[in-house]
Structure formats: C-alpha cells, structure tokens
Copies of this chain bind each other. A is one copy, B any other.
Amino acid sequence: MRGGVQRNRAVAGEQCDVFPTDCPTRDMVDHVTSRWGVWVLISLRSNGLRFHELRESIQGISEKMLSQTLRALVEDGLVWRKVEPTTPPQVTYGLTEFGRDVGEPLTELFDRITRQLSPRGTG
C-alpha cells in the first residue's frame, strides 16, 4: 500500500501531493506552527485567556511577540478577540471553531511528546 511518494490520503481532493510554495495550506500550517503560535493555541485550548494570563502562561514570550502572534491568529480565523471597554480595559482571547479544530492535533502532539519525554513511561 502507501502507493506513491507524497500523496496525502486524498483528504480533501488530492490537490497537494507535494508541498508547493503556493499551497495555501502550507502557509496556514506555517502560521499555526510558528514559534509562538503553537503555544498560544495550546494555551487557549481549554478556555479564553486575558493578554497577561497568556503572557504568564507562555514563559519567555515578549509582549511584542504575543501581540503580534495573536494578531496573526485572529486574522487567520483561529482566535477570537473580545474587548470589554472597562477601566482598565479587559481583552480576552479564545479559540474559534477552526482554532479548536486545529488546536486538537497540536495538543495531541504536545501530549505525545510529553509522554515520550516523561521519565515514567520510558522505564
């Protein structure tokens, strides 16, 4: 089985049997798997978070990158942004349906690596 080299399993109509530069899927995957995008998506998987909560959750991310990453994810339709015009203003981020859809395999990836690197399972 397995046929040829790159044919993905014809999931949506085999338009991508290699990974060309102009494939929109590739672009989106690159966004999703961007340095900080991964962690934002995983962080938001269970519930919405405020800007600062996200920042605390993802150790090492700067305000700039967090804001930049969030903006990109919102543009891509993976994350929603809710502004509550209070004082001080509260902004909450969460996953859209698409975001959850994408976040699932990402979380699975995270879990599997955690499991593999865990000292418990290996011994």
Q: Using a CB–CB distance below 8 Å, which chain A residues touch chain B?
A: 2, 5-6, 8-9, 11-13, 15-16, 18-21, 24-26, 28-30, 32-33, 35, 38-39, 42-43, 46-47, 49, 53, 56-60, 98, 101-102, 104-118, 120-121
Contact = CB atoms under 8 A, between A and B. Distances in A.
Contacts of A13: 118, 120
A106 B112 CA distance: 11
A58 B111 CA distance: 27
Nearest to A28: B113
A57 B18 contact: yes
Nearest to A46: B2
A102 B106 CA distance: 10
A25 B117 contact: yes
Contacts of A18: 56-59
Nearest first, the 5 A-B pairs at minimum CB distance are A12-B118, A33-B33, A105-B108, A105-B105, A105-B109
Contacts of A109: 29, 32-33, 102, 105-106, 109
Contacts of A6: 43, 57
Given A29-B38, A56-B18, A60-B21, A11 B114 contact: yes
A115 B5 contact: no
